[in-house]
């Protein structure tokens, strides 16, 4: 599908990101593992895989953080409307996000980067990760020894998988 108009594009993106909410699968769009908004929260513009301009001219002069907050605002406000077609974002959830101005915190990024145990294995201090891996390494099929890697942006936290912030 080719979309010329930015307003149409952002509505298409919101429609897609809100499908799991409307289906009653998740409460928040980013809670759905395969959503683009969830990807943006986990990996903000990693390798420029997904653009944060959302096809709108007014997004171009904003920072990536402001673009994401603006899109989240649009997404949550749209998702809270009762269209008569499935579930919507709960008013209490919407109000919490409004108070935060739809900004993404470091804690949220960490949560969405590590929300699946299989994505990161063990998380904790370097010693804890190393010791725990040694105790359970028969459950981690790997060709080489796993070494704890620092979690970007969280001093003193390590995991078996690189959880980059950028």
pLDDT in tens, 8-25: 778 888 899 999 999 999
Distance CA 120, CA 114 (A): 6
In 36-125, alpha helices (H): 36-42, 57-60, 64-79, 91-99, 106-113, 117-120
pLDDT attached to residue 166: 45
pLDDT attached to residue 141: 65
pLDDT attached to residue 47: 53
pLDDT in tens, 34-80: 787 876 666 555 555 556 666 666 666 677 788 888 889 999 999 99
Q: Where are the domains of the chain?
A: 6-113, 119-159
How big is the chain, counted in residues?
166
| Residue that wins the pLDDT comparison between 164 and 140 | 140
pLDDT attached to residue 45: 53
Nearest C-alpha neighbor of 75 from the set 113, 111, 38 = 38
pLDDT attached to residue 42: 63
Please state whether beta strands 158-159 and 123-124 pair in parallel, antiparallel, or not at all (unpaired): antiparallel
Nearest C-alpha neighbor of 123 from the set 153, 146, 157 = 157
Other residues' Cβ atoms within 10 Å of the Cβ of residue 86 = 13
CA neighbours closer than 13 Å in the CB half-sphere of residue 116:
9
pLDDT attached to residue 80: 95
CA distances from 5 to 15, 52, 115, 131, 148 (A): 15, 16, 35, 54, 46
| Residue that wins the pLDDT comparison between 142 and 144 | 144
Q: Model pTM greater than 0.85?
A: no
- What's the pLDDT band for 154 if we cut at 50, 70, 90? confident
pLDDT attached to residue 159: 84
Distance CA 64, CA 50 (A): 12
Strands across the sheet containing 149-150? 123-124, 158-159, 149-150
């Amino acid at each position: 599908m080719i979309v010329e108009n930015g307003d149409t594009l952002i509505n298409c993106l919101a429609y897609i990101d809100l499908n799991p909410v409307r289906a009653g699968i998740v409460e928040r769009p980013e809670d759905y593992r395969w959503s683009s908004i969830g990807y943006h929260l986990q990996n903000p513009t990693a390798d420029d895989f997904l653009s944060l301009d959302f096809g709108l001219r007014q997004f171009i002069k904003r920072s990536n953080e402001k673009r994401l907050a603006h899109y989240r605002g649009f997404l949550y406000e749209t998702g809270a409307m009762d269209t008569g077609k499935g579930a919507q974002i709960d008013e209490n959830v919407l109000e919490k996000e409004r108070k935060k101005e739809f900004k993404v915190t470091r804690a949220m990024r960490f949560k969405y980067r590590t929300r699946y145990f299989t994505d990161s294995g063990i998380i904790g201090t370097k010693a804890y990760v190393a010791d725990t891996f040694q105790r359970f390494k028969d459950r981690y099929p790997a060709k080489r020894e796993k070494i704890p890697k620092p979690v970007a942006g969280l001093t003193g936290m390590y995991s078996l998988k690189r959880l980059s912030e950028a």
